[in-house]
Amino acid sequence: DVKVTQSSRYLVKRTGEKVFLECVQDMDHENMFWYRQDPGLGLRLIYFSYDVKMKEKGDIPEGYSVSREKKERFSLILESASTNQTSMYLCASKASSGQRNTEAFFGQGTRLTVV
C-alpha cells in the first residue's frame, strides 16, 4: 500500500518558534509538494521539489523554507512561526509522468495552530 506519512496530525506552536513539518514517502517518487489548505482558498502550493536537494517556490513561499536531503523525505520549515501560518498543511508525492497518468498521493495532513 502506497504511503505518504506526515510526522504530526496536530501541532500547537508559539509565535516566533521554528517549526519543522516532516513528510516521508515510500514510493520512490521524484516529486514532492507542500500545500496549505484554508477555507475558501483551496490548496495553495508553498514549495515543491523534483529531485534531491532541488526545490522550487510555489505560489506562497514567503515565511517558509524546505529541505530535501533524501529522496523519500521533504521537510517544511517555518523559520519564525506567526499566527497567520495557522492552517492545515498537506504533503503530496508524485512520480514524474510525461503524458502518463501518475496521480499524486497525499499525507493525512498536519493541523498547525500558532498561538
* Site residues for other proteins per CB under 8 A: 30-31, 33, 35, 40-45, 48-51, 54, 56, 58-59, 88, 90, 92, 94, 96-101, 103-104, 106, 108-109
Contact (Cβ atoms closer than 8 angstroms) between residue 73 and residue 49? no
CB of 89 to other proteins, least distance (A): 12
Place of cell 506562497: 60
CB of 108 to other proteins, least distance (A): 7
CB of 104 to other proteins, least distance (A): 6
Q: What contacts 99, CB < 8 A, 6 or more positions away? A: none
